[in-house]
Amino acid sequence: MSRRHSTDPARAPSKGFSAEAKKSLGQHFLHERGIIDRIVRAVNPKPDDRLVEIGPGQGAITFPLLDAHGRLTVIEFDRDLIFPLTEAAREHGTLRVIHRNVLEVDFTALAGEEGPLRLVGNLPYNLSSPILFHALEHAAVIRDMTFMLQKEVVDRMAAGPGSKTYGRLSVMLQAYCEVTPLFSVPPGAFRPPPKVDSAVVRLLPRAPETIGIDDPARFAAVVRDAFGQRRKTLRNALSQQCDSERIEAAGIRPDLRAEQLEVADFVRLANALAS
């Protein structure tokens, strides 16, 4: 059974450690206590949850989560952070550290037979999209994801058809997950402060039977090509995959552009091409 401690924002901050941010790794360490508390409340860990944090950094989110839950697995690529993380975590709970590039972590194997994972993390801006797509590949073993990313990326994730920010990332994520932006985070909440605003977002993977995608690889290819050159119509953008007749057969006008299609339209078109 997990230990549970108070997550009252008024309590003393968890003891952490200091480390120099590495620009090459896109590190911006969160330090604003109010934002940290909001993230922990958004995660709202329960006793039997299997929490996995991506990129714990100096432990700003790590230690409050340990205080609230008692157990946590973290994935950290920066070798210099492993020892101080492990040492500082001793007074907060049981910390398991996986020293690896998160893109090489098999979340399905990590979940094993013990139940789904709940992912949390302040994602490095230079790797946020690859990490999101990697997580999608393992969505069947992920209960939910609470991530902090560049606000522009969160806007793209949640954008709807007709928006200038609606694109490949929007369609791919919304096809497999319910995407809910939670709140914005100013640059001053980090050391060093980034040049852009950040935002926290929750992704809730959809039940497999509700997704309706027959061939995930074909779906991904259709979405990729459709948005490859946004100004092109579907007739031209998808010319390597199909002709206008097949697009029309799926009930979609070939003279439309990708940003005019709903997520369900992409699913229907990809299924028609895969059949």
pLDDT digits (tens, 9 = 90+) for 100-117: 999 999 999 999 988 899
pLDDT at 208: 87
**260 versus 6: which is more confidently predicted?**
260
Q: Model confidence at 230, in pLDDT bands (50, 70, 90)?
A: confident
How much is the pLDDT for 251? 96
pLDDT confidence band for 126 (50 / 70 / 90): confident
Positions of CATH 3.40.50.150 in the chain: 23-210
Q: φ, ψ for residue 264 (rounded to 5)?
A: -60, -30
- pLDDT for res 24: 44
- pLDDT above 50 (res 22): no
Domain with CATH 1.10.8.100 in the chain: 216-274
| Cα–Cα distance for residue pair 143/74, rounded to 1 Å | 17
Binding residues: 28, 30, 55, 76, 122
Residue 52 near residue 118, CB atoms below 8 Å = yes
d(CA 130, CA 142): 17
| pLDDT at 192 > cutoff 90 | no
**In this model, does residue 10 exceed pLDDT 90?**
no
Query: What are the residue ranges of helices labelled H in the chain?
Result: 33-43, 62-69, 79-89, 107-111, 128-136, 151-158, 168-176, 208-211, 216-226, 234-237, 244-249, 263-274
What angle separates helix 151-158 from helix 168-176, to the nearest 10 degrees?
60
User: How does the average pLDDT of the chain come out, rounded?
Assistant: 89
State which CATH number among 1.20.1250.20, 1.10.8.100, 3.30.360.10, 1.10.3720.10 fits the domain covering 216-274: 1.10.8.100
**Best CA proximity match to 160, nearest among 145, 173, 144:** 173
* Residue 123 · residue 185 · CB < 8 Å: no
Residues 174 and 238: their CA atoms lie apart, in Å, by 21
Q: Are strands 29-30 and 190-191 parallel, antiparallel or unpaired?
A: antiparallel
Q: By percentage, how much of the chain surpasses pLDDT 90?
A: 80
175: nearest Cα among 144, 221, 218, 206: 206
CATH architecture of 23-210: 3-Layer(aba) Sandwich (3.40)
- Binding-site positions for S-adenosyl-L-methionine read 28, 30, 55, 76, 122
Tokens at residue 28, please?
Answer: 């911006």
Please spell the DSSP secondary structure of 49-113, one letter per residue.
--EEEE--TTTTTHHHHHHHHSEEEEEE--HHHHHHHHHHHTTT-EEEEEES-GGG--HHHHHTT
